[in-house]
């Protein structure tokens, strides 16, 4: 059985909402492995002098935990069968 953990991440970009989500995945991937999905919970823009200065997103990032351990256990089971 797979265990999935969810963390909340806040990211921003000067370009677009799409780029802000990409930044969230890029930065989260530096420390979290096995990311499965990203749900954009909220979006906002920062405005200055009537112009959009930056785009922000709040994301829920889902990732599997313990996958490497499960693979090791499966290998061990296969080896024991032989």
- Domain regions of the chain by residue span: 3-81
Q: What is the pTM of this model?
A: 0.75
Q: Decide yes or no: CATH 3.30.1660.10 for domain 3-81.
A: yes
Q: How far apart are CA 18 and CA 56, in angstroms?
A: 10
Q: What is the distance between the alpha carbons of residues 57 and 46, in angstroms, rounded to a whole number?
A: 11
* pLDDT tens column, 28-76: 999 999 999 999 999 999 999 999 999 999 999 999 998 555 455 544 4
Residue 7 has pLDDT above 60, yes or no: yes
C-alpha 40, offset from chain centre: 10
**Rounded CA separation 19/57 (Å):** 10
Residue 1's pLDDT is what? 82
CA 82 – CA 53 distance, rounded (Å): 63
Nearest partner of 60 among 4, 3, 5, 9, judged by Cα: 9
Per-residue confidence at 10, pLDDT binned at 50, 70, 90?
very high
């Amino acid at each position: 059985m797979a265990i999935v953990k969810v963390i909340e991440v806040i990211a921003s970009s000067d370009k677009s909402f799409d780029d802000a989500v990409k930044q969230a995945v890029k930065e989260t991937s530096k420390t979290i492995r096995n990311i499965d999905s990203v749900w954009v919970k909220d979006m906002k823009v920062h405005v200055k002098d009537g112009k959009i200065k930056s785009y922000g997103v709040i994301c829920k990032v889902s990732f599997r935990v313990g996958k490497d351990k499960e693979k090791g256990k499966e290998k061990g089971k296969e080896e024991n069968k032989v």
